[in-house]
C-alpha cells in the first residue's frame, strides 16, 4: 500500500506587483511613445480630459502617494475648480518653446540588435561569449570576411565551433547576417523560407557565377525554359544581397528632448521641455456626480474605479519624471567637464556603477536612459551617451580612450611590415600584455578613429 505523506517545503517565489510592472512600462517609453500613451488613456478613461488652457504650477509637491487616499482630497487637487499647477508634462506661460520641428536620431545599430538577440538565441554562456565575439568581425554589409582559421586562432576556439555559432547567427535578424559572401547570405534566406527545392536555390548553389548571363543563354545551358529562369531571377531579386545594410542605412527616427541643459549665470541648469505632452485633468462634470446624492451607488462605484486608475497614472508619471530628473542632474554633476569645456571629454562610468550611485536597479536606469534625449550646449544626445563604459584593466582600473588609442597607434607604427597586426592580435596584446579589457570591435572602432586602415590594406601598401 502506498504511503501518503504530508511534507512542507520552503520555496522563494518572486512576484512583481502590478504597479512595478506598470512603472517599468512607463519608464521604458520615450517621449513620443509616452505622448501616444497619454492620448490613449484620454480616450479610454472617461474621468480624464485634456486641458486646453495653460495655468501656473501651484500644487507642486502635493501629489498623493499613499494607497489609502482620500478621494475628496484628490478631487480638490486635480479638479477643474482648482488651478492645477502640477500638471503632468504641461508648461507655464513663460518661455514657450517651439517644438514643431522634431530632431532626427538613428535607431539601434546592427551590432546592438545582434547583441540583444544573442541573449535569447543562445542558452549556453560559452556559446554566447563566442557569438558576441564573432559579431565583432561582421562588417557594415553584414559579412564576415576574416578567414575562419584566423578567427579560430584569435578566439582560441575550434573552427567547427565557430562555424556552428556562425550558422545560428545567420538565422538571426537580418537573415543572412554573418555570411561569408553574397551567395551564402542569399542561400540562407531561401533556406529560412523553405525554398531549397526551387530553381532559384539551385542557381545560387551551383551556378552563381552564371547569374549575370542572359536568361535565354542560361536556360539553354541548363535545359530549362526561359520563363522558369526569369521566375527564379525574380525570386532572387526579392532577397537581400547585403543584409547588414538594412540597419546601416535605415531611415532616421525622430525624437524630442525631454530636458535641456543650459548655462545660466555661468552655472549649468536643468529644465524640463514642456508643451509637447497633452495636459490632462479630471473631468469636473463626472466629479460633481460623485457628490450628487441622486446619482446611484453603482454609477459612483463605476466612476471611482476610473478615478483610481487616473490616480495611478498620475503617480506613475510623476515617478518617471522624478527618476529622470535625478538621472539628468547626476549627468550634469558627473560629466560637468564635458559641458563646461567645448573640448571636454566624458568620464567613463558603467551603467552598473551609475545605478549604485543613483541607488536604483540597473534595469531601471537602462530603461530610463534608452530612447530619452537631452539638449545640451554641445548638441542633442541620448541619455545613454553619457554612460560610456570605458576601458578597464583586469584589476578594475579605468583607462581613458585616448590613452588606449595612443597605445594602438604605437603598436601599428612599430609593426612588422611582413606581418601587420590584425585587430584581433592588437586586442590580445592589449588584454594579455597591457591588462586592458577590450573587445576586437572596440579595437576596430578606435583604429578607425585614428584614421588607420585595416591590416590587409596596410599589408598591400607595405608590399607596394
Q: Per residue in 211-241, pLDDT tens?
A: 888 888 888 888 888 888 888 888 888 888 8
* Contact call for residues 154 and 137 (beta carbons, < 8 A): no
pLDDT-based confidence at residue 177 (cuts at 50, 70, 90): very high
Class of domain 110-248 as given by CATH: mainly alpha
pLDDT value for 398? 60
Among 69-83, 136-150, 340-354, 430-444, where is mean pLDDT lowest? 69-83
Say whether pLDDT at 344 is over 80. Answer: no
pLDDT tens track for 345-377 = 788 888 888 999 999 988 889 889 988 888 888
Instruction: Compute the residue count for the chain.
Output: 464
Among 4-8, 147-151, 202-206, 246-250, where is mean pLDDT lowest? 4-8
pLDDT value for 284? 80
Mean pLDDT of 197-208: 88
* CA–CA distance, 324 with 312 (Å, rounded to integer): 18
Burial of 188 (0-12, 13-18, 19+ CB in 10 A): buried
pLDDT value for 358? 93
pLDDT tens track for 60-116 = 344 333 334 444 444 444 443 333 333 333 333 333 344 434 555 555 678 878 887
Say whether pLDDT at 322 is over 60. Answer: yes
Provide the percentage of residues in the chain whose pLDDT is more than 70. Answer: 79
pLDDT value for 325? 94
Provide the percentage of residues in the chain whose pLDDT is more than 90. Answer: 10
What is the CATH code for 391-463? 1.10.10
Say whether pLDDT at 407 is over 60. Answer: yes
The terminus-to-terminus CA distance of the chain in angstroms comes to 89
**How many Cβ atoms sit within 10 Å of the Cβ of residue 249?**
9
Mean residue pLDDT across the chain: 77
- Domain span(s) for CATH 1.10.10.1330 in the chain: 110-248
pLDDT value for 179? 93
* Contact call for residues 140 and 243 (beta carbons, < 8 A): no
Amino acid at each position: 500500500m502506498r504511503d501518503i505523506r504530508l511534507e512542507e517545503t520552503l520555496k522563494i517565489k518572486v512576484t512583481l506587483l502590478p504597479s512595478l510592472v506598470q512603472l517599468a512600462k512607463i519608464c521604458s517609453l520615450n517621449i513620443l511613445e509616452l505622448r501616444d500613451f497619454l492620448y490613449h488613456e484620454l480616450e479610454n478613461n472617461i474621468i480624464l480630459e485634456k486641458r486646453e488652457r495653460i495655468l501656473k504650477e501651484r500644487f507642486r509637491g502635493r501629489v498623493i502617494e499613499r494607497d489609502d487616499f482620500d478621494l475628496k482630497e484628490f478631487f480638490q487637487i486635480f479638479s477643474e475648480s482648482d488651478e492645477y499647477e502640477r500638471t503632468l508634462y504641461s508648461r507655464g506661460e513663460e518661455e514657450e518653446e517651439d517644438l514643431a520641428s522634431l530632431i532626427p536620431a538613428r535607431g539601434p545599430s546592427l551590432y546592438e540588435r545582434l547583441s540583444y538577440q544573442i541573449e535569447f538565441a543562445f542558452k549556453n554562456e560559452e556559446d554566447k561569449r563566442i557569438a558576441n565575439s564573432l559579431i565583432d568581425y561582421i562588417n557594415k554589409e553584414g559579412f564576415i570576411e576574416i578567414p575562419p582559421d584566423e578567427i579560430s586562432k584569435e578566439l582560441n576556439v575550434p573552427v567547427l565551433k565557430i562555424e556552428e555559432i556562425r550558422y545560428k547567427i545567420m538565422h538571426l535578424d537580418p537573415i543572412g547576417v554573418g555570411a561569408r559572401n553574397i551567395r551564402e547570405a542569399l542561400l540562407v534566406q531561401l533556406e529560412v523560407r523553405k525554398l531549397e527545392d526551387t530553381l532559384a536555390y539551385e542557381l545560387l548553389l551551383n551556378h552563381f557565377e552564371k547569374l549575370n548571363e542572359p536568361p535565354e543563354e542560361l536556360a539553354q545551358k541548363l535545359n530549362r525554359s526561359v520563363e522558369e529562369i526569369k521566375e527564379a531571377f525574380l525570386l532572387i531579386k526579392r532577397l537581400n544581397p547585403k543584409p547588414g545594410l538594412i540597419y546601416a542605412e535605415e531611415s532616421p527616427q525622430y525624437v524630442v528632448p525631454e530636458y535641456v541643459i543650459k548655462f545660466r549665470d555661468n552655472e549649468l541648469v536643468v529644465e524640463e521641455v514642456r508643451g509637447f505632452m497633452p495636459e490632462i485633468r479630471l473631468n469636473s462634470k463626472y466629479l460633481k456626480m460623485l457628490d450628487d446624492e441622486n446619482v446611484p451607488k453603482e454609477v459612483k462605484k463605476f466612476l471611482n474605479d476610473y478615478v483610481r486608475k487616473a490616480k495611478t497614472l498620475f503617480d506613475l508619471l510623476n515617478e518617471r519624471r522624478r527618476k529622470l530628473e535625478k538621472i539628468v542632474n547626476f549627468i550634469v554633476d558627473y560629466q560637468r567637464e564635458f559641458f563646461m569645456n567645448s573640448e571636454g571629454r566624458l568620464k567613463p562610468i558603467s551603467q552598473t556603477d551609475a545605478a549604485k550611485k543613483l541607488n536604483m536597479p540597473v534595469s531601471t536606469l537602462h530603461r530610463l536612459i534608452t530612447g530619452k534625449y537631452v539638449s545640451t550646449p554641445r548638441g542633442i544626445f541620448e541619455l545613454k551617451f553619457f554612460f560610456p563604459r570605458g576601458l578597464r584593466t583586469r584589476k578594475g582600473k579605468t583607462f581613458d580612450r585616448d590613452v588606449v588609442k595612443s597605445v594602438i597607434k604605437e603598436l601599428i607604427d612599430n609593426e612588422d611590415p611582413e606581418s601587420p597586426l590584425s585587430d584581433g592580435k592588437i586586442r590580445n596584446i592589449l588584454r594579455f600584455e597591457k591588462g586592458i579589457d577590450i573587445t576586437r570591435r572596440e579595437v576596430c572602432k578606435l583604429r578607425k578613429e585614428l584614421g588607420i586602415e585595416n591590416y590587409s590594406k596596410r599589408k598591400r601598401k607595405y608590399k607596394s
